[in-house]
């Protein structure tokens, strides 16, 4: 069972003065998560993010080095965009925006994927998992935000996804390849269409499960995992999830995970966050899934950069680790150590 967190924000938080604590002592957030049982770290990669110096290849190398130094597996999340890619936007990198020929764009996707992974391999930083796109519910590499009701051009979409998969297979033959879709209710329709279009050469189906944006209950999400495993004969991992531990205002006037993110059975308290994560992890494992990765457990506020996610981190407003992190103890690694 892979349990861990997406730690892409850690370098930026620390560079801006953020300090993390465990029982009152200053600590490395990678080590804190590892010591609680985390055996995987996820990290996002943007193509050429001129608006920030983070989540480019240099920053990704720094993050992977920190994770691997502690013996953690790594999941590289290639966004194929210069900014956030999600169901509402899959915006093509500026470097490719003038490419009008699909074959030329396929080559660009393939060669970029190969170059990234070969660069990491030369430094001994090859990831154990490679994610081809982030929450690619809609068509990849589009010129602008998703238009509600637009249909996916599956000939184009499949060719681009497969170009990334081929590049990853070539440059990282021992890594497991993953395709990531947001919210369990979207999995079967999307993967049925992808299969019909010829997308097959991947190992893991990754999903985001956020109660705020999903119509599936926690139990139904688990049932979907079981159905997907049986239907496609792939591994299944929850590669993004999160839950608020408070609705009290900290450094920001509003939170992304506000009251509409709270389930009746799990109040927005530290123990409510913990119980939700344990329930999700147990449901995932019971239904044949083999991983749960918390999205941005360390995206806390700093004096210069408030975080709209601070009420959903695994650290409180003083940056002290709190009990939600204890879901990591359910990993096979933690059980073996105990």
Q: What is the pLDDT of residues 130-170, one digit of tens each?
A: 999 999 999 999 999 999 889 999 999 999 999 999 999 99
Which of 106, 135, 235, 326 is labelled catalytic? 135
**Start-end of H helices in 140-238:** 154-171, 187-196, 218-232
Distances (CA, A) of 116 to 61, 104, 259: 10, 18, 40
Which of 106, 240, 275, 296 is labelled catalytic? 240
pLDDT band at 335 (very low <50, low <70, confident <90, very high): low
* Mean pLDDT (whole number) for 80-96: 97
Q: Please give the Cα distance from 189 to 314 (Å, whole number).
A: 33
Q: Is the pLDDT of residue 21 over 60?
A: yes
Distance of CA 191 to the CA centre of its chain: 19
Q: Is the pLDDT of residue 334 over 80?
A: no
For the chain, helix (H) and strand (E) counts, in that order, are 9, 10
State whether residue 156 is helix, strand or coil. helix
Give the residue extent of every domain in the chain: 2-337
Percent of the chain clearing pLDDT 70 (strictly above): 98
* Mean pLDDT (whole number) for 175-190: 98
pLDDT at 332: 63
* Mean pLDDT (whole number) for 167-188: 98
State whether residue 272 is helix, strand or coil. helix
- φ, ψ at 81 (rounded to 5°): -160, 165
Reported as a single tens digit per residue, the pLDDT across 201-239 is 999 999 999 999 999 999 999 999 999 999 999 999 999
pLDDT at 213: 97
Q: Pick 333 or 4 by higher pLDDT.
A: 4
Q: Please give the Cα distance from 233 to 53 (Å, whole number).
A: 39
Percent of the chain clearing pLDDT 90 (strictly above): 96
pLDDT band at 67 (very low <50, low <70, confident <90, very high): very high
Strands (E), the chain: 2-6, 20-22, 25-27, 40-45, 73-78, 129-132, 176-182, 204-208, 235-240, 291-295
pLDDT at 105: 98
Q: Please give the Cα distance from 233 to 240 (Å, whole number).
A: 21
Q: Is the pLDDT of residue 337 over 80?
A: no
Q: Which fold has domain 2-337?
A: TIM Barrel (3.20.20)
Handedness of CA 291, 167, 125, 296 (dihedral sign): negative
pLDDT at 331: 78
State whether residue 222 is helix, strand or coil. helix
Active site residue 135: yes
pLDDT band at 338 (very low <50, low <70, confident <90, very high): very low
Q: Please give the Cα distance from 80 to 90 (Å, whole number).
A: 8
């Amino acid at each position: 069972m892979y349990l861990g967190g997406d730690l892409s924000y850690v370098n930026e938080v620390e560079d801006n003065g953020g300090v993390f604590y465990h029982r009152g002592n200053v600590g490395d957030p990678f080590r804190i998560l590892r010591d609680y049982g985390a055996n995987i770290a996820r990290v996002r990669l943007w193509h050429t993010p001129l608006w920030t110096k983070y989540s480019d290849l240099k920053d990704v190398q720094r993050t992977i080095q920190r994770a691997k130094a502690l013996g953690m597996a790594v999941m590289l999340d290639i966004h194929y965009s210069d900014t956030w890619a999600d169901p509402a936007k899959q915006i093509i990198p500026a470097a490719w925006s003038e490419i009008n020929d699909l074959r030329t764009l396929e080559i660009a996707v393939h060669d970029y994927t190969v170059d990234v992974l070969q660069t990491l391999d030369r430094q001994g930083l090859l990831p154990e998992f490679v994610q081809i796109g982030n929450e690619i519910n809609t068509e990849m590499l589009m010129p602008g935000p998703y238009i509600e009701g637009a249909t996916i051009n599956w000939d184009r979409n499949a060719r681009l996804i497969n170009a990334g998969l081929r590049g990853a297979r070539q440059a990282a033959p021992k890594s497991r390849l993953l395709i990531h879709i947001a919210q369990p209710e979207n999995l079967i329709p999307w993967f049925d269409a992808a299969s019909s279009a010829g997308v097959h050469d991947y190992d893991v189906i990754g999903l985001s499960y956020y109660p705020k944006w999903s119509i599936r209950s926690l139990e139904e999400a688990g049932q979907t995992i079981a159905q997907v495993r049986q239907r496609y004969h792939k591994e299944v991992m929850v590669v993004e999830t999160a839950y608020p531990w408070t609705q009290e205002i900290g450094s920001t006037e509003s939170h992304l995970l506000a009251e509409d993110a709270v389930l009746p059975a799990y109040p927005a308290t530290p123990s409510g966050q913990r119980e939700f994560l344990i329930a999700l992890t147990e449901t995932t494992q019971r239904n044949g899934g083999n991983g749960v990765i918390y999205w941005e457990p360390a995206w806390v506020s700093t004096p210069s950069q408030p975080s709209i996610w601070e009420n959903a981190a695994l650290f409180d407003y003083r940056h002290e680790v709190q009990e939600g992190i204890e879901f990591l103890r359910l990993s096979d690694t933690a059980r073996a150590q105990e």
